Structure 1
Amino acid sequence: MARKQILLKRRQQGVVTLRTMLLVLTGGLLVTLLIAVFITSFGYFRNYVSDQLAGHARDGATAIGLSLSNAIDGRDPVASASLIDAVFDSGRYLSVSYLNHQGEQVAGRAMTLNKVAVPAWFRTFADLPLPIAEAEVVRGWSRLGTVQVISHPGRAYEDLWRITIGLTASTAVIGGIGLFAVFLLLRRTLRPLHALEDQARALGQRDFRKRVSIKSTREINQVTDAMNQMAGDLGQLFEGQAKLIQHLRRVNNEDSVTGLASRGAFDQRLKVEVESEEKAAPGVLILIQLADFSGYNQAYGRSEADRLLLRVATVIAEFVRQHAGSFAGRRTGAEFAIFLPGVMPADAGVWCRQLVNDLDGVYSDLASPMDTAVHAGLARTLEGRGARDLMAAADEALRTAQSSNGTGCHLADPEKDGHHNLETWRVIISEAIRRQTLSLWLQPMVHEGRLMPVYHQVFSRIDSVEGALKAGTFVPMAERFGLISDIDRLLVQRVLDRLKDLPDQPLAVSLGNASVANEAFRTDLLEQLGQAGSLARNLWIGISEQTIHHHRTAVGLLVRALGRLGVPVLVDRFGVGGVPFSYLRNLRFQGLRIDNSFIHDIDTHEDNRFYIESVVAIAHSRGVKVFATGVETAAEYSVLCKLGVDGAMGYHLGRPFAADNQQTGD
């Protein structure tokens, strides 16, 4: 796609602009007119000078003839020669000859045309004629001979040269002023066209924000007003569609009071995280409940109760933001649920105790003088334990915590020996970065109408003594330790090295939240991609919607810089970041990747089908591709194809495989 845009831009740049065409046409006409005037004037002055030269020769011949006929005896050669010498020495004649009846020269003088103060090329170009003027010499009734005179053209050439210089200078000045005036007139008149061209290009890229305010002629002003109105109408249409999508997402997936995920949306996403063959990874579920919330509701009223729930949700949302990949939701009343993927129960217990203490502080401040408490139950994922069983285990742990006095947490199924603690995870990840024991695994993003995958999604795994650790296991820890930028930097370099060997196999990588927010990482990433040249255009860069929500400035800088390099960018985990859909209006993305939770069992979820159908329609109207992930059944893939997605990925369509040996992994 980026290659097509570059070729189109080159073709557009090769087309002559309207201003250039009009300038060449009017300028050509002006220059032609001036050249015609110059040629006509030059010819007129040349003829004038030639006539003057011929008249001078005739006058000279007549004067000499009369002198030889009357004042001087033309039969005396010496006297005739003296007269001719006197006339010739004036320097105004090229040749003066006195011939007898037999054509023999009686007396005469001549000189060559050498010393003329004009360039030789001009003398050749002008080529003034040299007419021979004749006069009879008579004595009485006797004819003695003929006088032949040729005027010297030197002064004529000099006069014509000065006239030519004046004509050339005046023509150049008039032509320059005329062309400059035409240029200014065309630039002022056609100035809105350049702005209209930029606006049309922006509309082609589904950017409806640009307006043209430059005024010109009446006709162009009407076109400008029409374009501005169309851009405004399209922008309002998109804004309305975006608000509709946002409303649908909130109605179907968000709790109206707290803004957290609704019970159904949380359960659906939890089911994907726990039961999905593709997403299943270690994690901990936390159930939190405010004690005696019904009493608070009765004492302070519904509005204050909602205010309390909102304050609690704000604290929980901040907690979730600090743990990569985690998500939270409100279940019923004052009960909340949080899932922490890729963490061990011991670590989750430490974080949970801090969280419930913070929540207890909020609760006690608002409920004073009531006695308050906050309880939490934790349960970890186990092999064969589904989402319902995990929820039941966490609920049982919550009831156990409630049986004790005061605020507290309880962990179901205490962790057995052999699991990694935080420091062990730090060592494993740091060693993997230092020794570069990071392997690439690929999963195809396929399209129903294409033989070859749209691209291959790249996953990283750490090769350890315990085997290959999946990204879902170690990435949350890497985010917590601030090591995700180093992992992403190494991952991008490995991917670019693979593209050098297989340039026709597009790849996609997803960046961590902290990586996008890190200015040093963004600088290194752009440098890596810039050095890769055209290969970088075959690499899709994924940025999660949650990252867009929390780091809008950094995301904006990165997306614009990647756009200048021609690198396609997609929104990863679309639909769960809680971001207004209108960010697509401000940032130029090439793709959206729908989160797994919307895809799981989509063949039986009418709300999710309608939501994705609406997203596809709006995204395609802006030239943005829509991809789906987590496809695990043929029924899901069939529905997605009917909805018009541009690609799908999942265990049903292709399992991840090692990039080095094509080995399929689970």
Structure 2
Amino acid sequence: MSLSRRLFTLMLLVLLGFSLGIFFIQVNNTRDALAERQRVELSNLAQSLSLALVPHVELGDAASAEALIRATVDGGHVRDARLESVAIATPIAFNVVRESLAPQWFRDLIPMPVESASRELPGGWASLGTISLTGESAQGYDQLWQLAKRLALWLLLGGLITLLIASLVMRRLLRPLERLSSRLNEMETQRFDAPLEETSVAELKGITSAVNRLGQRLQTQFEAQAAQLARLQRQAEEDSVSGLGNRGYLNRAVDEWLSEPMGGSFALLRVSHIEVVYREQGYKGRDALVKAIARKLEDRELAGEAIIAARLANSDFGLLLPETDEARLQEFLTLLAEDIDNLLDANPLVDTPPENCALGAVRREPGMQRTQMFAVADATLRQAIEQGSGVELAPAGGRARPRGEWREIIEKALDSPKGLDFVAQPVLLNDGGELHRELFARLRDGDELHRAGDFLPVIRHFRMGAQFDLRALEWLASYIDRIEVPRLALNLTEETFDDEASYIGLLNWLAAHPRLCKRLDIEVSESIALRHQERIKMLFRHARRLGARGGIDRFARELKELSYLSALRPDYVKIDQAFFKREDVDTELLQSLCMTAHQVESQVIVTRVESEADQERAMSLGADGYQGFVSPAVDVMARLASPAEDMPR
């Protein structure tokens, strides 16, 4: 129980005891006052009757005496009346029965004393008789009951108002302590870069300062770790002259790209004029030109996405380009070549114009490997140089289905209740447990099932990702009861975060399906997290409140941007095993990468693990789990015993 609840409960108990004490004291005092008033009234009434009955008793008129007694005690506090006299043969006695309106439990709880009074009738030297009266408690109980109800009502209202005021005061007084508690929780699960505002409570000032110092120390430590990673990454994957990635970096990026269901193109750029500049101006002129070309490449975007560029040799650069149509790709490559040619021709004093640059590009096709892609791009580059065209695009292999046809298949499948299907691949932890099972989509076209690698590039090309994500979530909601595994992971597309309506719709959908969220892990790629950091942060926080978890896929592609981890605080990150298998990557870099993720309480999962040797190396460097062909994908439905036909990656 929290401190505020304990204080509130204690105040409630004190107030309840205080109210009960006031209630019983007031009711008992009122009861005593009513009993005393009844005693006085009975005494006065008996005295009056003793004098008024003398004439009737002396005459022996019993009827008149009885009538006088009844008229006198009628409506009063008298229950029994009795007149005994020597002048009247038979004593006059009667009682007035009256039921009290007070409940029996109240009368048992607070008993009312019964008063009585008697007087002798004066008759000279001798008494003529005796009149005796016994009081009636019903009227006293009624008055006491009305008082008790009014008092209880006012005490209840007063208590509620007091509790409300006390609650507001306590909340205000405890607010600095709540901020401290919230801040410490954020330092564990969210972020630690914003200082906590100072408090006016003297007892908490020292704690607030200590928490701020701790947060600053943690932030400094994390920034130092990120800086170390950036330094190690520069040593392992950065070209020292251009600042672009080197051949090892490009190989890793291409391998990861080919392993994902994505489209795009690969291009080789050759700037032969760099060698001419080196011969004429030395390494300073050459390095200045290389840096200028690198800045041109770093600033380029295609279809709203930055391209990936690396320097492969003195005059060669490799470009990894996002998915787009052929006409737009050709236009992009032509403009890029013109910009670089303008850069080379910037010196008007040179008599001989420089040799133009050349570009050879190849579009990704299903089943293509890195060596095959590099070979086709190199052949296309040579063709561009020999023909003097400057830019050449390798012809398609003829195996790819037209995008228009793919779009019809996708729209038909998304509209059909059975057009979408999934397989799930286990993500295993080092201790033998299971983190979750990642879902991979398949489209059903009649009797044929299409892998995600075939249709997801088309979905992204036509910007149908938000529609696809929502359809996948609805499929999960429909079949969640037939899925036996505890947790599932779903990778969302960028289109869901590009549009405000789609993003809000995702949050609302998750809030409307809390039972599914308790078994769901939401993943986004690192590139999406970098472009939509605020929305991803809000999504992860919203998902955690509903019982879901958030993860980052394709982690550590951009180590220079690693500081986003402290803001997002993902529950896990997934990194491709190619990063761990490269001999040119220092072990210290890999260990630092895992340590940085662990510092923000994120588990590190290595994907595409193909053998036990890969698994052991990843574990030795600090990874927490693995995913790959050592634990193949299976059907996500109840048929968990039968392996899937193939992995849609």
TM bracket (short chain): 0.7 to 0.9
* In structure 2, distance between residues paired with 1:238 and 1:34: 56
1:290-349 residue CA offsets vs partner (Å, 9 max, x unmatched): 34236667399578546623432234x4249659xx732123455311245999999976
- 1:84-123 equivalences under 5 Å are 85=68, 89=72, 94=78, 97-100=82-85, 112=96, 114=98
Which residue does the alignment assign to 1:433?
Answer: 410
Which residue does the alignment assign to 1:611?
Answer: 589
Q: Indicate yes or no: 2:512 matched with 1:535.
A: no
- 8 A Cα contact 2:553 2:574, kept in partner: yes
* In structure 1, distance between residues paired with 2:273 and 2:214: 57
Which residue does the alignment assign to 2:621?
Answer: 643
Which residue does the alignment assign to 2:26?
Answer: 41
Which residue does the alignment assign to 2:432?
Answer: 450
Shift of 1:133: 2.2
- 1:507-526 equivalences under 5 Å are 507-514=488-495, 516-519=497-500, 522=503
Going from structure 1 to structure 2, the CA distance change for 1:159 and 1:506 (only over 3 Å counts) comes to closer
Which residue does the alignment assign to 1:261?
Answer: 245
Going from structure 1 to structure 2, the CA distance change for 1:191 and 1:386 (only over 3 Å counts) comes to closer
- 8 A Cα contact 2:410 2:455, kept in partner: no
Shift of 1:356: 1.6
What SS does the aligned partner of 1:240 have? helix
Name which of 308, 311, 316 aligns with 2:292. Answer: 308
- 8 A Cα contact 2:223 2:563, kept in partner: yes
Instruction: Give 1:29's aligned amino acid.
Output: V
* In structure 1, distance between residues paired with 2:576 and 2:7: 54
* In structure 2, distance between residues paired with 1:333 and 1:535: 54
Q: Indicate yes or no: 2:305 matched with 1:327.
A: no
Which residue does the alignment assign to 1:355?
Answer: 336
Q: Indicate yes or no: 2:52 matched with 1:52.
A: no
Q: Which moved more, 1:191-200 or 1:171-180?
A: 171-180
Shift of 1:619: 2.3
Q: Indicate yes or no: 2:352 matched with 1:375.
A: no
- 8 A Cα contact 1:375 1:409, kept in partner: yes
Shift of 1:259: 4.7
- 1:137-152 equivalences under 5 Å are 137=121, 139=123, 141-150=125-134
Going from structure 1 to structure 2, the CA distance change for 1:343 and 1:232 (only over 3 Å counts) comes to closer
Going from structure 1 to structure 2, the CA distance change for 1:308 and 1:166 (only over 3 Å counts) comes to closer
Instruction: Give 1:234's aligned amino acid.
Output: L
- 8 A Cα contact 1:505 1:538, kept in partner: yes
Q: Indicate yes or no: 2:562 matched with 1:581.
A: yes
Q: With the length of structure 1 as denominator, give the TM-score of the two structures.
A: 0.75
1:446-496 residue CA offsets vs partner (Å, 9 max, x unmatched): 33432667424525478799x977544654455344455565555555666
- 8 A Cα contact 1:309 1:334, kept in partner: no
Going from structure 1 to structure 2, the CA distance change for 1:383 and 1:78 (only over 3 Å counts) comes to closer
Instruction: Give 2:247's aligned amino acid.
Output: R
Q: Which moved more, 1:481-490 or 1:329-338?
A: 481-490
Which residue does the alignment assign to 2:60?
Answer: 77
- 8 A Cα contact 1:189 1:216, kept in partner: no
* In structure 1, distance between residues paired with 2:405 and 2:436: 34
Which residue does the alignment assign to 2:117?
Answer: 133
Instruction: Give 2:7's aligned amino acid.
Output: L
Q: With the length of structure 2 as denominator, give the TM-score of the two structures.
A: 0.77
Name which of 599, 603, 610 aligns with 1:632. Answer: 610
Going from structure 1 to structure 2, the CA distance change for 1:32 and 1:625 (only over 3 Å counts) comes to same
What SS does the aligned partner of 2:298 have? helix
* In structure 1, distance between residues paired with 2:52 and 2:328: 134
1:16-42 residue CA offsets vs partner (Å, 9 max, x unmatched): 443333223223223323322332333
Q: Indicate yes or no: 2:222 matched with 1:238.
A: yes
Coordinate RMSD, CA, aligned = 4.9
- 8 A Cα contact 1:345 1:415, kept in partner: no
* In structure 2, distance between residues paired with 1:98 and 1:285: 125
Percent identity at matched positions?
A: 22
1:610-655 residue CA offsets vs partner (Å, 9 max, x unmatched): 333223223233332211122234332211122332321233x145
- 8 A Cα contact 1:74 1:80, kept in partner: no
* In structure 1, distance between residues paired with 2:243 and 2:442: 33
Q: Indicate yes or no: 2:183 matched with 1:199.
A: yes
Which residue does the alignment assign to 2:17?
Answer: 32
Instruction: Give 1:134's aligned amino acid.
Output: S
* In structure 2, distance between residues paired with 1:282 and 1:172: 71
- 8 A Cα contact 2:436 2:489, kept in partner: no
Going from structure 1 to structure 2, the CA distance change for 1:125 and 1:618 (only over 3 Å counts) comes to same
Shift of 1:140: 5.6
Instruction: Give 1:517's aligned amino acid.
Output: D
Going from structure 1 to structure 2, the CA distance change for 1:105 and 1:127 (only over 3 Å counts) comes to farther
- 1:149-548 equivalences under 5 Å are 149-150=133-134, 171=155, 175=159, 178-208=162-192, 213=197, 215=199, 217-255=201-239, 258-270=242-254, 285-293=266-274, 298=281, 305=289, 308-315=292-299, 317-319=300-302, 322=305, 327-333=308-314, 335-339=316-320, 352-364=333-345, 366-368=346-348, 370=350, 371-372=353-354, 373-378=356-361, 398=381, 401-402=384-385, 408-409=390-391, 415=395, 418-420=398-400, 424-436=401-413, 440-450=422-432, 454-458=436-440, 460=442, 471-472=452-453, 475-476=456-457, 478-483=459-464, 499-504=480-485, 506-514=487-495, 516-519=497-500, 522=503, 534-548=515-529
Name which of 498, 512, 530 aligns with 1:549. Answer: 530
Going from structure 1 to structure 2, the CA distance change for 1:133 and 1:477 (only over 3 Å counts) comes to closer
Which residue does the alignment assign to 1:12?
Answer: none
1:576-609 residue CA offsets vs partner (Å, 9 max, x unmatched): 146622222222522211034413x25x4552x3
Q: Which moved more, 1:559-568 or 1:19-28?
A: 559-568
What SS does the aligned partner of 2:561 have? coil
- 8 A Cα contact 1:283 1:343, kept in partner: yes
What residue ranges of structure 1 are gaps of 5+ in the alignment? 1-15
Going from structure 1 to structure 2, the CA distance change for 1:262 and 1:495 (only over 3 Å counts) comes to farther
- 8 A Cα contact 1:254 1:260, kept in partner: yes
Name which of 19, 35, 39 aligns with 2:4. Answer: 19
* In structure 2, distance between residues paired with 1:188 and 1:343: 57
Shift of 1:513: 3.7
1:266-301 residue CA offsets vs partner (Å, 9 max, x unmatched): 244446768xxx679998643213342366673995
Going from structure 1 to structure 2, the CA distance change for 1:113 and 1:512 (only over 3 Å counts) comes to closer
Instruction: Give 2:250's aligned amino acid.
Output: F
Q: Indicate yes or no: 2:643 matched with 1:662.
A: yes
Q: Which moved more, 1:627-636 or 1:119-128?
A: 119-128
- 8 A Cα contact 1:98 1:105, kept in partner: no
